[in-house]
Structure 1
Amino acid sequence: MTSTTTLAVALPAEHREHLIRIAREVSFDMGARLFEEGRRADRFWIVRTGTVGLDLHVPGRRAAVIESLGHGELVGWSWHFPPYVWHLGAEAMSPVRAYEFDAEAVRALCAQDAEFGRAIAVWVGRVVAARLHASRIRLLDLYAPYGSGSRS
């Protein structure tokens, strides 16, 4: 993930503080599933320590790990868009400490404060774009005859 999508860079300090005030600190053991593709997206996390792997169900094969997320990165964006269903799965690749947020509470804050809501929407949109690009590259690396051909 690029630095422009991490919490410290993506949101102004006042919006970060506003968001962190409603966070709950949680931890996950290595191998714990945070969420499963296709299930209800009712929360999200910001990684404090450890690594979370995002994966995509591939019929007839093991789930493909699309991306690894670390400190300051957003885990989960599906909570922001109806019908609020996870598009990927996520698993702790190491012990993880994170801030957890109730999606409904954050959406309510976004509705109450237009500036905060816009900042969250832009942040989540950047994350979605980056994840889409990462998914494309990873799937081409795994399944295309010549890999992704990525120039980066």
Structure 2
Amino acid sequence: MELGREVSFPAGARIFEEGGRADHFWVIRDGGVNLDIHVPGRRSAVVETLGAGRLLGWSWLCPPHQWHLGAEATSPVHAWEFDASEVLALCERDPELDHALLTYVVEVIGRRLRAARTRLLDLYGPYGSGSPG
């Protein structure tokens, strides 16, 4: 947490765009953020909504360090922002932190992948995702 700094985003602010350079990440303190994916010929599809305590951004960890999704504040957001290069340097010096952070981020990636798959099937699959609600 010593590397984090407090930031805020107003409702409607685009925090990052799919394909942009991923060099920061955030832990949301309060507020809501929609994660969306570009759909050619249509408006972007919201694949997940994040709230307090959730990690916003994981693409900083994986080359080519470009956002895989876009993010927009749905309400005023307060968060802790972290510079990816500083966190990665700290992880190089602390293998336990590196392992714990990587384990956590892999879990987040898995959840986001499942959410994106389900949402896209609901929107564009002939029978939806098949999941209730």
TM bucket (normalised to shorter chain) is over 0.9
Matched position secondary structure for 2:114: helix
Residue type matched to 1:112 in 2? R
Matched position secondary structure for 2:75: coil
| Whole-angstrom distance in 2 between the partners of 1:128 and 1:56 | 15
Share of identical aligned residues, percent? 61
**Equivalent of 1:128, from 109, 114, 127?**
109
Match of 2:50 in 1: 69
Residues 1:99 and 2:86 are matched in the alignment: no
| Whole-angstrom distance in 2 between the partners of 1:24 and 1:88 | 23
Residues 1:51 and 2:32 are matched in the alignment: yes
Residues 1:78 and 2:32 are matched in the alignment: no
Aligned length, in residue pairs:
133
Query: Segments of 4+ in structure 1 off by > 3 A?
Result: none
Aligned pairs (5 A) from 1:33-52: 33-52=14-33
| Whole-angstrom distance in 1 between the partners of 2:46 and 2:92 | 34
| Whole-angstrom distance in 2 between the partners of 1:121 and 1:111 | 12
Displacement after TM superposition at 1:151 (Å)? 5.3
| Whole-angstrom distance in 1 between the partners of 2:131 and 2:55 | 24
Residues 1:27 and 2:8 are matched in the alignment: yes
* CA-based RMSD: 0.9
Residue type matched to 2:109 in 1? V
TM-score normalized with structure 1 length: 0.86
Pick the structure with more helix per residue.
1
Matched position secondary structure for 2:122: helix
TM-score normalized with structure 2 length: 0.98
